[in-house]
Amino acid sequence: MLVGLASAARAEAQIYAWKDANGNMVLSDRSRPDGGEVRTFEVPGTQTVRVTKAEERVTGSGRARFDDIIDEHAQLHRVSPALIRAVIQLESGFNPWAVSPKGALGLMQLMPATARELGVDNPFHPAQNIRGGVTYLRRLLDLYDQDVPLALAAYNAGPGAVARYGDVPPYRETQEYVRRITTATRPAPPPPPSVIYKWLDVVNGRPIVRYGNKPPAGTAHEVVGRR
């Protein structure tokens, strides 16, 4: 769990991260008060740092606030918006303040070195983070000749791991990562064809025409429509 706070910071904000006595991840703009081991992350160009609980997820209409950014960069970089959304969902649960134990940051969980290389000054800024993440994903798709599972494996485990094995690495986390995203973005199967049946039913000695989407048992019928 991340401890929630909102505090003023320098233009070149330093975020300090550590685990408290209960094993909770703490993020702050001030160093650990007991002098214990911390990890630090620079967030250039930001005046404030706001951290929310890691388990909180943006749901429903909250996610819609990222739609325009996702669609813009999906079109610009020729990456499926569904793929981008699935990556964000699995990486951060649409939490723009997410920080992983390994130090990955923001919506698309950019490592600090990768963020700098992609020109992302503030990885907690949704537009910058998505731009950087989609740019990197596009590079990986091009590197692996549009092979989505390999690109996803490299996004999760690094291109070196993919090169080492020549395929999706046999890491449980990476294989589950690839499986979940490819499953989430797989097109839904078409619905079964709808068939309309017609038959005669006798009620009080009078024949009545019936229609239905299931054939009547033991009664002559005909197909009068398909979809």
Q: Map residue 167 onto helix, strand or coil.
A: coil
Q: Is 91 one of the catalytic residues?
A: yes
Neighbours of 121 (CB within 10 A): 15
**Which residue in 37, 42, 56, 91 is the catalytic one?**
91
Q: Which pair of structure tokens corresponds to residue 122?
A: 């503030």
Say how many residues make up the chain. Answer: 227
- How far is residue 105 from each of residues 36, 79, 80, measured CA to CA in Å? 22, 21, 22
Using an 8 Å Cβ cutoff, are 90 and 181 in contact?
yes
C-alpha–C-alpha distance, residues 131 and 92, integer Å: 15
Give backbone dihedrals phi and psi of 74, rounded to 5 degrees, phi first. Answer: -60, -45
- Cβ contacts of 114 within 8 Å, gap of 6 or more: 132, 136
Q: Could you give the residue numbers annotated as active site?
A: 91
